[in-house]
Structure 1
Amino acid sequence: MLNVLIAGASRGIGLGLVRAWLERGARVFAVARNPAASAGLAALLAEHGARLQVIACDLNAQAAAADILAALGEQRLDRVLLNAGVYGPAAQDVSSAGEAEIGHLFLSNAIAPLRLARALRPQLNAGAVLGCTSSVMASLQLSLGAQMPLYAASKAALNSLLLSWAVQLGESRDFSLLALHPGWVQTDMGGAQAPLTVEQSVAGLVVVVEAAAGTRECRFVDYQGETLPW
């Protein structure tokens, strides 16, 4: 049985990923800041029981990694999906955004995921997959983030940190490391006008992640398996 940890699991894509791996027979550790407020997680707990363990944790907290590791105990992991993130300042304007807003954006979208990824590395089984939710807007070559420049910059920072970590690990890395673009999805962040449902995005992401198992690849890839330029 696969052990899968999914962070940002209370709604949207994260909740969809929890559901998808439970339906595949995995044991899932679902990390959410306030899981008691998630009707979706409650329904999955009722349906799947012991194969779903919910961990309450604010990923931005300094103690987040220690709290998650304590909850895992001796359990090792085969898949880790770090999905939590925020849109950032509504204006998305470097001239008007406050320091606290910008700090929270980059902490949530870049620093906290990488910090947790590094802490979870000793728990990974050989051949595991660790994926972080990025965005096509993070691609410096494609430069598609003009309408959301601060958000795009935070995801570009995430990608940069992932690449740097891969270089630091070198030949010692025995797991795949993915920056995942889920597509434009009908979530609270994506809005109702988005072309993809959560189910469509999640179905693709699961295929991409499972295909990476055992390959030791490091890729920026979308939900359809297409490699994106960094």
Structure 2
Amino acid sequence: MHTPNILIAGASRGIGLGLVETWLIKGARVRALIRSPNATLLQLHDRFHTQLSLIEADMTADDCIHKVLADLGDEQLDMLVLNAGQYGPAAQDVLTTSSTEVADLFMTNAIAPMRLARALQDRVLSSGVIAFMSSQMASVELALARDMPLYGASKAALNSLIRSWSHSADAPKASLLALHPGWVKTDMGGEQAPVEIADSVNGLIQVMEKQAGRGGCYFRSYDQQVLAW
């Protein structure tokens, strides 16, 4: 029986951590890309030491790709999940945000995940999935980012890069997914969010497993909804 081999970038907390734990319980081999380990991840590593590897690297750093490739060796991946992201400036106002804040936001939410995915595309099986954590706020048509315009714009940039990649000459054979996890009770989502981490995680995994082997490019919600780009 094939053991799924999964790499999750942005795995130290919230949805990323939930994906790590859920896939470990399902028996998968998981690599967690993190800036630094925390107590919860170290406990998971002790519990699942034969299944879980921790890769310490900043996804926006120049040496990140080298560290990930060194850890992978000759192994192939069934799932590559790019989950790292940030909210951005608190004010979310183009009139007051600095150039540095905007550059950091778009690098973290759009450029860095795409750069890592492009570098690893040949390591993902054609029957596999390359999934990016996007947001319904990325949808230009739905226009839901009124209160978070900079965050929404950064995720829209990510979605644009994903779709452009899917139509390029070097488009991956693996399925490409932009995923909306729901409004989740995380540090970013806040306690008022209606979706529990476990419900989001289980739904996201179902979406990814459903799309595995299909190829193509999709924008999906954790609850199976098709979202407008």
Shorter-chain TM band: over 0.9
SS state at 1:13 partner: helix
Would you tell me which structure has more helix in proportion to its own residues? 1
Pair 1:188 & 2:187 matched? yes
Question: Which residue is equivalent to 2:209?
Answer: 210
Question: Which residue is equivalent to 2:68?
Answer: 68
Runs of 5+ in structure 1 lacking a partner?
A: none
Q: What whole-Å deviation, never above 9, does each CA across 1:11-67 have from its counterpart, x for those lacking one?
A: 1000000011111111000000111xx122112111111110000010010221121
Question: Which residue is equivalent to 2:173?
Answer: 174
Normalised to the residue count of structure 2, the TM-score between the two structures is 0.97
Question: Which residue is equivalent to 1:130?
Answer: 130
Q: What whole-Å deviation, never above 9, does each CA across 1:62-116 have from its counterpart, x for those lacking one?
A: 2211211111111110001100000000000000000000000000000000000
Question: Which residue is equivalent to 1:107?
Answer: 107
Question: Which residue is equivalent to 2:12?
Answer: 10
Q: 1:173, CA displacement in angstroms?
A: 3.1
SS state at 2:130 partner: strand
- The letter of the residue matching 2:16 is G
* Rounded Cα–Cα distance in structure 1 between residues aligned with 2:32 and 2:163: 26
Question: Which residue is equivalent to 2:44?
Answer: 44
Q: How does 1:22-61 map to 2 (within 5 A)?
A: 22-35=24-37, 38-61=38-61
Does structure 1 conserve the Cα–Cα contact (< 8 Å) formed by 2:166 and 2:216?
no
Question: Which residue is equivalent to 1:221?
Answer: 220
Question: Which residue is equivalent to 2:116?
Answer: 116
Question: Which residue is equivalent to 1:155?
Answer: 155
Runs of 5+ in structure 2 lacking a partner?
A: none
* Rounded Cα–Cα distance in structure 1 between residues aligned with 2:186 and 2:94: 25
SS state at 2:69 partner: helix
Normalised to the residue count of structure 1, the TM-score between the two structures is 0.97
Q: What whole-Å deviation, never above 9, does each CA across 1:149-173 have from its counterpart, x for those lacking one?
A: 0000000000000000111146x63
